[in-house]
Amino acid sequence: MKSDLRILVVEPNPDRVREIVNALEAAGWSDVKALEQISALDRTVRDLSPDIVLIDLANPDRDTLEHISYATEASKRAVALFVDHTDDNLTKAALNAGVSAYVVDGLKMERIKAVLETAIARFEITRQLQSELDAAKQALEDRKTIDRAKGIIMRQRGLSEEEAYTLLRKTAMTQSRKVMDVAQALVTAADLLS
């Protein structure tokens, strides 16, 4: 696990903050900042740009979870949330908010390293899956655009599908552009003219 992670701890109790910071430093993480007020989370995350946010809350509510989701931009960083009590709805809301680790029964210093490592690993897996999903969606959209461009060429020039694609590819090479870019330009022009 990387030791140069920037960690933001959200905890209102200064004694508890010292405990958490000491446990993190003992686990090998030294770039740790603390925040007492969750209401300042949005600004602090923007200013510090932490790799992981560790939040210790006794009893979170749905509004707090929504605030956490918005403020931490969970798609950009891992979030570990430690709570004393929960219910099924809060658990689901936390996971929907993008929390990477949702630990009930509070924050125990002896397991802080394992929990954060798990949260980071889960976050990386989730980010990788999201990236792959986004790439697959983009590839499908690109394929639809290219197919639409081929259809336009086929209708306008009376060519077969293979000939239309060859013309698209040849045009892209001649213009030093991607086939997708040429297809998008053709579709856009056709939409303007129809």
Tokens 């053709």 belong to 186
CATH number of the domain that 157 lies in? 1.10.10.10
Tokens 């009893």 sit at which residue? 59
Q: What is the pTM of this model?
A: 0.69
pLDDT of residue 86: 77
- Tell me whether residue 128 is in a domain: no
What pLDDT is attached to residue 2? 61
**Domain residue limits at 46:** 6-107
| In a shared domain, residues 74 and 17 | yes
Q: Are residues 96 and 39 in the same domain?
A: yes
Q: What is the pLDDT of residue 87?
A: 79
Q: Residues 6 or more apart from 94 whose CB is under 8 A from it?
A: 60, 65, 81, 86, 102
| Residues of the chain falling short of pLDDT 50 | none
Counting the structural domains of the chain, the total is 2
Widest Cα–Cα separation across the chain = 78
Residues 96 and 144 in one domain: no
Nearest-angstrom CA–CA distance, 126 and 133: 10
* Domain co-membership, 11 together with 61: yes
